[in-house]
Structure 1
């Protein structure tokens, strides 16, 4: 029986991968996770996500920054699904060392451990969870200049309520295109930089060590189990906790910024299919729905489902480094993995909200997170 190590396997995406692997029943499953408070709360042993994987795997509580822990965890492992990472673009811009240590040095420890075992290691393939954030603003078309990969929007324009993306060459407004895997990468946050650095490390070291790999660039993954305690990622969780308390919602920018939401079960299924699918070896693959949905649409949908009395305020506030839009081209995923999103956004949101209603919610850290970003200059309130 082959053995799979899932780093970060007690997290949102990892726990769903473990659930599906357990249901398949053909692999021995190991999980390495530090059960961070930001995700699991002050009593992680009782957290929803950790409880979700209990009995389904060999669980190792430890940090990917600890070499000895990683070295022991990869013993006898055939496949590694590397999910362990700090996430959140805003937080990464002022917790720089933390993101570099976890995201870059954590992966470095895996390769160091493999290297020291020399020919005795059993690792055949590493699957990396990267992010669409490596594209920056993504792919656009200019009526005059053709395909453009714009840099980050200017803070001075956004401060005056202009959230449009313009061509850097002729200053014309740009038309959004689905982002393909061969698009130019332009990270505009420290988080995105660390994910791109992970990709480069995977490509370099796996080639040198004769290990297969697949890199997935996840879009906005959502679904049941998404952390309701982390105020730095996941607008569905942030909006839900506020709506259930009937607190008003601060809709950043003009509310028209869009994201590509893909359900966690679809993401997990694709990742698992790639384990022994040789056609994915050496490939970078987008995983998304291929459809963009605006933030204001999401807020209105959630408000209706919860029957909340919260008011939705489009404030013009913004976070430095946030992208305007996000839509993936998923042609490669369809071709190599027969990937077709099976959960519609409507059904997925309804199911998510039903789950949230059965959980303890806490929005006390939301304003604190905004205050931290504001102090660092990464969150700007519209005057």
Structure 2
């Protein structure tokens, strides 16, 4: 393959992918605005492959697209550019909608305008599209509980009574987002799939769980709960546990995610499909906090009963279908991944 274009490619996931694919493509082109919420310095990230042609620009700018596409005709596009803060999306809805939705339509329009239709588009989506997902009641009947109301959360009714959460699976769980962010990501999925079908372009959509690991932003307060926990523990502070601390999350290591992206780039069996990418293991937030507190000999994490509207009670992937189709499986265990991340954060904070 010749040219790979990555939107938002100077971020956490993009940098890892760029190193993995640098020998697969003749040219790698990245468009990224180096937003200060993610990038402390407005300069090329050290982790970005030196083979990358970086355009510091906004995906919402049609002039940028025309400039890039007049020079580079992408064979494959990896669409990573997105605003990702679940809580922030409630107070900055227009920003999330503009970047995630309008940024995507600007890209699609520019591809037509510049006669630059690619062979394939890979979209990085999110488990947020599922919302609370599917649950099983006491009679063994599945149902969709929908979004937890502010009144319910204020009354500390964290769970759906006498019900059990079912891991998220693209073939069995209907998307019902409970956040502005999740809604915009589902819109991205629909935009990419219908556009690609109309123009005969292959596409693959990856619904990522909680991605973590060395290289993630340490200054973005809206993502990276693990890095926040590490900083508190290193300051010998007790980590606050929202709700009752028993929310499930599926933490998947950055190298496993990058390998999944590379796999769907080259695997024709992935065309036209949506995959769940996670570890397949649901750990409680309390479990993560205790693991980190123990490493740094910090005080025991404490339940604070705070909550965030739009947050889901549980999130965990059922990756069984993904494993059947892709030549991929997660390799980094939670304990190994957390230690690698903590080692990296220690090094960063000592510099």
Aligned equivalents of 2:283, 2:116: Cα separation in 1: 44
Query: What does residue 146 of structure 1 align with?
Result: 141
Q: How far has the Cα of 1:145 moved from its partner?
A: 5.9
Deviation per residue, 1:137-163 (Å, 9 max, x gap): 012111226111211123223222221
The question of 1:351 aligning with 2:340 is answered yes
Q: How far has the Cα of 1:311 moved from its partner?
A: 4.4
Deviation per residue, 1:67-120 (Å, 9 max, x gap): 111233343110000001000110000101100110001111111011213xx3
Q: Which blocks of at least 5 consecutive residues in structure 2 are unaligned? A: none
Q: How far has the Cα of 1:358 moved from its partner?
A: 0.9
Structure 1 contact 138–149 (Cα < 8 Å) conserved:
yes
Greater shift, 253-262 or 25-34, is seen at 25-34
Aligned equivalents of 2:242, 2:109: Cα separation in 1: 42
Question: Structure 1's 25 and 203: CA in aligned 2 closer, same or farther, altered over 3 A?
Answer: closer
Aligned equivalents of 2:50, 2:168: Cα separation in 1: 39
Aligned equivalents of 2:276, 2:111: Cα separation in 1: 27
Aligned equivalents of 1:316, 1:105: Cα separation in 2: 36
Query: What does residue 14 of structure 2 align with?
Result: 14
Q: How far has the Cα of 1:54 moved from its partner?
A: 5.0
Query: What does residue 92 of structure 1 align with?
Result: 89
Deviation per residue, 1:174-194 (Å, 9 max, x gap): 111121103111111100000
The question of 1:221 aligning with 2:216 is answered no
Query: What does residue 128 of structure 1 align with?
Result: 123
Query: What does residue 65 of structure 2 align with?
Result: 70
Aligned equivalents of 1:140, 1:27: Cα separation in 2: 47
Q: How far has the Cα of 1:25 moved from its partner?
A: 4.4
Structure 1 contact 71–110 (Cα < 8 Å) conserved:
no
SS in 2 for 1:71: helix
Deviation per residue, 1:246-280 (Å, 9 max, x gap): 23322100000010111110111111111121111
Aligned equivalents of 1:85, 1:123: Cα separation in 2: 20
Alignment of 1:201-240 (within 5 A): 201-240=191-230
Aligned equivalents of 1:235, 1:70: Cα separation in 2: 34
Query: What does residue 319 of structure 2 align with?
Result: 330
Alignment of 1:1-383 (within 5 A): 1-22=1-22, 24-41=23-40, 43-45=41-43, 50-53=45-48, 55-74=50-69, 75-117=72-114, 120-144=115-139, 146-166=141-161, 173-182=162-171, 183-307=173-297, 309-360=298-349
SS in 2 for 1:39: coil
Aligned equivalents of 2:268, 2:20: Cα separation in 1: 20
Greater shift, 99-108 or 272-281, is seen at 272-281
Q: Which blocks of at least 5 consecutive residues in structure 1 are unaligned? A: 167-172, 362-383
Aligned equivalents of 1:353, 1:249: Cα separation in 2: 15
Aligned equivalents of 2:332, 2:212: Cα separation in 1: 11
Aligned equivalents of 1:71, 1:358: Cα separation in 2: 41
Structure 1 contact 306–353 (Cα < 8 Å) conserved:
no
SS in 2 for 1:319: coil
Aligned equivalents of 2:240, 2:141: Cα separation in 1: 35
Structure 2 contact 126–206 (Cα < 8 Å) conserved:
yes
TM-score (norm 2): 0.95
RMSD of aligned alpha carbons? 1.6
Aligned equivalents of 1:202, 1:16: Cα separation in 2: 23
SS in 1 for 2:294: helix
Q: Which structure 1 residue ranges, 4+ long, deviate > 6 Å from structure 2? A: none
**Number of residues paired by the alignment?**
348
